[in-house]
Amino acid sequence: MSEALAAMRAELERDGESLTFLPLAEALRLRGDLDGAARVALAGLAHHPNLADAHDVFARILADAGDLQRAADEWGIALALDPRHGGAHKGLGFLAYRRGELDRALDHLELALSADPSDRSVVQALLVVRGAHEAAAEEAATSSAPWEREAAAVETAPVPPPAARTAATVFAGLEGGEHGMLLLDPRGRTLAGGLRSAAGANVADEVAAYLAGVSQEAERTSRLLELGDWRWIAAEAEDGTLHLSRPVPEALLLLARDRSVPAGRMGILAVRASDIARRWLEAQVV
């Protein structure tokens, strides 16, 4: 047994109510000692029945043991205690994916990502589920009845190919693509897309101008802090969010949304829009 496990056990023996049972149960689960992990988690739950994290760790143990129904119950309790619990949303997203309920899986994973945007395992899971979702939609479009194919087409094929789009319509078909997505160069000049305020005014040029130089500053900041390449910047206000990313080194992508759109959803939209922006920029060069 590692020193860390021994230290955690000693801590629990000293103080039966210590929250050390959470990392200890998780460590035992990761080592494959599911019986030991379950004993520790249950003992902790006896002291902390209203702790969402405790139900979350117990649910993970149950899921590893194959008891998916009880795992779902435990994650359900965690969400009842803390509706924004990222671990519970992640777990329920995983279970929904296993059942083939892709829409539900996406909902949970997006909420998990909004609870913790830095959780790479959630980002990875979202990519997998989104891929499965798109594959399922394609299959529906080719194998179902005509009216079903039509419905699937509306959901999945809203946009013309990149080369056929103009600067004004480059993001057409994406959620908010016509007035909430802006492609600009690092000097703050607009390249494509559009941006309107809630009142309907065209604010694209003004907003882009204020973002001139942001890319270089973000780069310098990341370099100073040895954080590697910067990926995105989100500015959340009471009534809206700006999300800036860099689809290619010579262009920035700005998304503007009201606060009803969770941060995780913004990230997903940015990935989709970045992909379109990259292909559109390549088409312009050709």
Partner 1 sequence: MKAGFGHVLDAITRVRGVHGAMLVAGEDGLVVAESLMEDIRGHAVAALAASLYQRFRRATQAAGVRRPEFLHLQAAGGSLLVVPALEGVLVVAVAAGDINVGLARLEMIRAAEAMG
Q: Which of 1, 154, 237, 286 binds partner 1 (CB under 8 A)?
A: 237
Contact flag: residue 3 with partner 1 (CB under 8 A):
no
Q: How far is the CB of 208 from partner 1 (least distance, A)?
A: 8
CB atoms within 10 A of CB 207: 17
Produce one character per residue of 28-66: b if its CB has 16 or more CB atoms within 10 Å, e if not.
bbeeebbebbbebbeebbeebeebbbbbbbbbbbbbeee
Contact flag: residue 7 with partner 1 (CB under 8 A):
no
Q: Which of 98, 235, 250, 282 binds partner 1 (CB under 8 A)?
A: 235
Judge whether 38 and 29 are in contact, CB under 8 Å.
no
Which of 37, 242 has the CB closer to partner 1?
Answer: 242
Q: Which of 222, 265, 271, 272 binds partner 1 (CB under 8 A)?
A: 222
Contact flag: residue 156 with partner 1 (CB under 8 A):
no
Which of 57, 115 has the CB closer to partner 1?
Answer: 115
Contact flag: residue 199 with partner 1 (CB under 8 A):
yes
Which of 166, 216 has the CB closer to partner 1?
Answer: 216
Q: How far is the CB of 223 from partner 1 (least distance, A)?
A: 9
Rg (CA), the chain: 23
Burial bucket for residue 177 (CB in 10 Å: 0-12, 13-18, 19+):
buried
Q: Which of 4, 201, 249, 275 binds partner 1 (CB under 8 A)?
A: 201
- The one-character DSSP state at 199 is T
Produce one character per residue of 191-202: b if its CB has 16 or more CB atoms within 10 Å, e if not.
bbbbbeeeeeee
Task: Report the site for partner 1 in 61-90 (rule: CB under 8 A).
Answer: 84, 86
